[in-house]
Structure 1
Amino acid sequence: MKFFRGMLGYMIAGMIVMSVWDGFAGPYGIAGGYAAAIIIIGPMWFMNHHVGLIHNPDTDAFVDMALGIGVTGIVRDIFLKGAGEFVDTLPTLLLVTLGAVIAGFVAPAVERALEKEGEVEHRAAADERPGPGYSDDYAKS
């Protein structure tokens, strides 16, 4: 059921973004893009993360709505424009994937180097201590 809820949450967010975003950003430019981000992404984030359609356990890698929105956009364009358009995007997708893999190796190396040099002290995991304004009792509940 968790998989179905997550898939539903990603699909709803993706379909709304792909259907409505251009209506804001097209005529109003950058300001319309910011307005779309607030009006569309805000409620979708609330629905998926706060209400809980997308479940991300602390032990798993965190996958946010961007992946679901991206996949929805790719599949939508395959249906609307044909698979030939998808083939044209493969070099870009491969480079984005390569960049993500490189970042996955570089980010921990930079963090370890900063810790070693004493510029940044090791931080506990987010669920080990409460954020600002929250007591220890709140974090345990």
Structure 2
Amino acid sequence: MTVKEIIMTITGAAIFSFLVITVWGKLVNLFGAIGGFIAAMIIPGTMWIINHGVNNHLIKQSGTVWIDMAWAVGIGVCISSKIQGGKMTKAKNTLFAAILSGIIGGYILTF
């Protein structure tokens, strides 16, 4: 990857994380569960198109390893929570479940 591609990939990941952190919670607070569904339909889909679906997309991948935007938002939310004083030990069960399900999903995709 070139330096430009690395910067574009980091930018695309940061924009997605920023939107999830700032917009998703506000939609849930305003509209309840329906707001969560609206956020789930709008934010990831729009960011997928920007990051992967257009000719000049932001996220560049090289090699045969396939990593999608879930890593970007996971890392972004984790960093944001840590900056705000959150404890990683409280999220250990969620992190374990996310890692385990990612491994299982990757294994299934190999078939």
TM over 0.5: yes
Match among 84, 98, 101 for residue 96 of structure 1: 98
> Hey, what does 1:133 align to over in structure 2?
none
In 2, Cα distance between the equivalents of 1:108 and 1:13? 24
Q: SS of the counterpart of 1:81?
A: coil
In 2, Cα distance between the equivalents of 1:81 and 1:36? 25
In 2, Cα distance between the equivalents of 1:39 and 1:101? 27
Match among 66, 69, 72 for residue 62 of structure 1: 66
TM-score, with structure 2 as normaliser: 0.77
Instruction: Report how many residues are paired.
Output: 106
Q: Which contiguous aligned blocks of 4+ residues in structure 1 show a shift greater than 6 angstroms?
A: none
Identify which of structures 1 and 2 has the higher relative contact order when contacts are C-alpha pairs closer than 8 Å and 6+ apart. 2
Instruction: Tell me which structure has the larger Cα radius of gyration.
Output: 1
Unaligned runs of 5+ in 1: 112-141
> Hey, what does 2:28 align to over in structure 1?
25
Match among 57, 70, 88 for residue 86 of structure 1: 88
Summarize deviations over 1:72-104 as a string: whole Å, max 9, x none: 00000000124xx12221233123213322443
Q: Percent identity?
A: 27
TM-score, with structure 1 as normaliser: 0.63
- C-alpha displacement of 1:108: 5.9
Cα distance, 1:43–1:100 mapped onto 2, change above 3 Å:
closer
> Hey, what does 1:125 align to over in structure 2?
none
In 2, Cα distance between the equivalents of 1:101 and 1:9? 24
In 1, Cα distance between the equivalents of 2:39 and 2:32? 11
Q: SS of the counterpart of 1:53?
A: coil
Unaligned runs of 5+ in 2: none
